[in-house]
Structure 1
Amino acid sequence: MKEFDKMIEGLPYHANDPELVKARQQTERYLRQFP
């Protein structure tokens, strides 16, 4: 999911931060609703 990776690029979070992982999963679920 490159768009999301670009959005979070440069943010002061590690990629495996639990909150960030959760947010990423929620975003993926949301975007999957659209073809």
Structure 2
Amino acid sequence: MDDALKPDAMFGILFGLLVSIEIWCFAALVIKAV
């Protein structure tokens, strides 16, 4: 069971990091635009 859950957990963490990076980049662009 644990081995089956690990890939999903890793994917969730990576997906969360990518989303947070996109949010920070978008925020930086908005700040620069203003």
TM-score by length of 2: 0.49
Which is richer in helix?
2
Identify the structure with bigger relative contact order (alpha carbons < 8 Å, sequence gap 6+). 1
TM-score by length of 1: 0.48
